[in-house]
Amino acid sequence: MQDKIDQYTAEIKAFTSAKADELEAFRIKYLGTKGLIKELFEQFKTVGTEEKRVFGKVLNEFKQFAEARYNELKDSIDSTVTTEETKLDLTLPGEGVTAGSRHPLSLVRNEIIDIFKRLGFVVAEGPDIEDDWHNFSALNFPEEHPARDMQDTFFIKKNSGTDDIALRTHTSSVQVRMMENGKPPFRAIMPGRVYRNEAISARAHCFFHQVEGLYIDENVSFADLKQTLYHFVQELYGEGTKVRFRPSYFPFTEPSAEMDVSCTICKGAGCNMCKYSGWVEILGCGMVDPNVLENCGIDSKKYTGFAFGMGIERITNLKYVIRDLRLFSENDVRFLEQFKTEII
Ligand code: DAH
């Protein structure tokens, strides 16, 4: 009997399979109702009292050893099976990759750039921090002009006036840099951020975005200005959008105008976006004042040209019916996510 126990112990120790069917065969062989251990217990009944005293303990310990080994192997199979199953659970929903989206202002800026590029305009940029000359003086702003006032401009250095340093209040400063640094003809658009000292509300912000346009060559007329902007509006808002020019005043253009488009929301019928007038102003424009050309070293007898400037926020609001300027800079994903389909 001892020999058999020793032999089985060695076999059980050597058994290491982690396969469910082999383990079941192992259980039947040793622990089954007709298994080898049962057989040993049957045999045990027939031995003498002296042997019973010796083998009783040995046999029980052997049986416990075999059961423990079986449970140990079973546990390891159970845990591997669960991990395998979790890894391969094809019913779990996919993890979904969240794609970002372009900011609505970038979408509209890119669209504006594309339209003008097709007309042969190049893109130019200038610094956000400007000196008095580029932001005001070269653009023909009189010394006492209210736009130079502390209330509108964020000054970084305020001295005598002509050597002030400020955050640019408009992208017209980039026209000056362009004309100073090059030779006509010029045909460029200049997108950028601008800053004004305004209280933040739904309709005003201390920074916003503009696109400036400049076209200088020989014999450029107001008719060229009108046709260029008319074409731009047809491309941006669709064929049939009406435009109208109203006389206006800017120090750097003469004559100057503001351009309205028929309200894109109500198509001119009247709504609260256009304050029931059917028209919305989208830009300022005019023929570049000869003083500005001369300030920038360009012969105003030989060259003429037009300029225009528009707010990107205004154009975006009209396109997407957005009524609160603060949404553009709050980074609320619930707002930004709505422009997902527009990824280019
Ligand atoms: N700089 C003007 C503004 O910020 C916009 C503007 C008007 C630009 C007329 C121009 C222009 O180039 O010709 O309000």
- Residue 175 sits in a domain whose CATH number is 3.30.930.10
Atom number, ligand 1, closest to the C-alpha of residue 310: 5
Confidence of residue 38 (pLDDT cuts 50, 70, 90): confident
Under 8 Å CB-to-CB from 219, ≥6 apart: which residues?
A: 304
Q: Is 141 in the pocket of ligand 1 (CB under 6 A)?
A: no
Asked which of 23, 54, 86 is the last residue of a domain, the reply is 86
**Residue 99: inside a domain, yes or no?**
no
User: Ligand 1 pocket test: which of 250, 292, 293, 304 has the largest number of ligand atoms within 8 Å of its C-beta?
Assistant: 250
305 C-alpha vs ligand 1 centroid, how far in Å? 14
Ligand 1 atom index nearest CA of 288: 13
Of 139, 190, 137, 136, nearest to 292 by C-alpha is 139
Q: Above 90 in pLDDT, residue 1?
A: no
Residue 167 has pLDDT above 90, yes or no: yes
Residue 212 lies in a domain: yes
Could you list the residue range(s) of the whole structural domain that residue 156 is in? 104-339
One domain for residues 143 and 58: no
CA distance 136 to 156: 15
The pLDDT, as a whole number, for residue 180 is 97
One domain for residues 116 and 71: no
What's the domain count of the chain?
2
Do both 286 and 229 map to the same domain?
A: yes
Q: Walk across the sheet containing 165-167 and list its strands.
A: 129-131, 165-167, 155-157
Distance CA 163, CA 246 (A): 35
Q: Which of 136, 170, 226 to mutate to test the pocket of ligand 1 (most atoms within 8 A of CB)?
A: 170
Please give the Cα distance from 7 to 256 (Å, whole number).
Answer: 109
Query: Could you tell me if 189 and 123 are in contact, meaning their C-beta atoms sit under 8 angstroms apart?
Result: yes
Q: 33 and 172 share a domain?
A: no
Inside any domain, residue 114:
yes
In a domain, 69, yes or no: yes
Q: How many whole angstroms separate alpha carbon 335 and alpha carbon 104?
A: 10
Note whether residue 251 is domain-resident.
yes
CA distance 13 to 28: 16
Torsion of CA 252, 257, 262, 265, to 10 degrees: 30
Q: Can the peptide bond before residue 185 be classed as cis, meaning omega within 30 degrees of 0?
A: yes
Q: How far is the CA of 275 from the centre of ligand 1 (A)?
A: 23
Domain boundary among 42, 58, 86: 86
Question: Within a domain: residue 154?
Answer: yes
Are 113 and 234 within one domain? yes
24 vs 45: CA distance, rounded Å: 27
The per-residue pLDDT for 342 is 45
Give Rg (Cα) of the chain.
Answer: 42
User: Does residue 305 or residue 91 have the better pLDDT?
Assistant: 305
Report whether 137 contacts 146 (CB < 8 A). Answer: no
Residue ID of nearest Cα to ligand 1 atom 2: 309
- Cα separation of 164 and 76, whole Å? 79
- Together in a domain, 187 and 218: yes
Is the same domain home to 261 and 127? yes
Does residue 53 sit in the same domain as residue 130?
A: no
Instruction: Tell me if residue 32 falls in helix, strand or coil.
Output: coil
253 C-beta closer than 6 A to ligand 1: yes
104 pocket-lining for ligand 1 (C-beta < 6 Å): no
**196 and 168 in one domain?**
yes
Give CA separation, 66 vs 17, 32, 35, in Å: 14, 11, 12
> What pLDDT is recorded for position 106?
95
Q: pTM for this structure?
A: 0.73
Residues 252 and 181 in one domain: yes
Sequence-separated (6 or more) residues with CB below 8 Å from residue 75: none
Averaged pLDDT for residues 10-39: 85
Exposure of 175 by Cβ count < 10 A (0-12 exposed, 13-18 middle, 19+ buried)? buried
For the segment 49-100, what is each residue's pLDDT rounded down to a tens digit? 887 887 888 888 888 988 888 888 888 877 665 555 566 778 888 887 777 8
Q: What is the pLDDT of residue 75?
A: 83
Of residues 287 and 19, which shows the higher confidence score? 287
The residue behind tokens 């919305």 is 280
Which ligand 1 atom lies nearest to the CA of residue 306? Answer: 13
Residue 91 belongs to some domain of the structure: no
- Residue 250 Cβ inside 6 Å of ligand 1? The answer reads yes
Using CA atoms, how far apart are residues 50 and 38, in angstroms rounded to an integer? 21
pLDDT given at position 83: 54
Q: Ligand 1 centroid to 112 CA: how many Å? A: 16
Per-residue confidence (pLDDT) for residue 341, from 0 to 100 = 60
Whether 305 lines ligand 1, by a CB cut-off of 6 Å, is no
Q: What is the mean pLDDT of the chain?
A: 90
CB 323: neighbour CB atoms within 10 A?
Answer: 10
Give dist(CA 114, CA 121) in Å, integer: 9
Whether residue 77 is found in the same domain as residue 208: no
Please tell me if the CB atom of residue 228 comes closer than 6 angstroms to any atom of ligand 1: no
Residue range 116-128, pLDDT digits in tens: 999 999 999 999 9
Is pLDDT above 60 for 343?
Answer: no
Q: What pLDDT band is residue 196 in, cutting at 50, 70 and 90?
A: very high
Residue 281 forms part of a structural domain = yes
Q: Are residues 180 and 51 in the same domain?
A: no
Query: What CA–CA distances, in Å, run from 124 to 33, 191, 192, 256?
Result: 91, 7, 9, 23
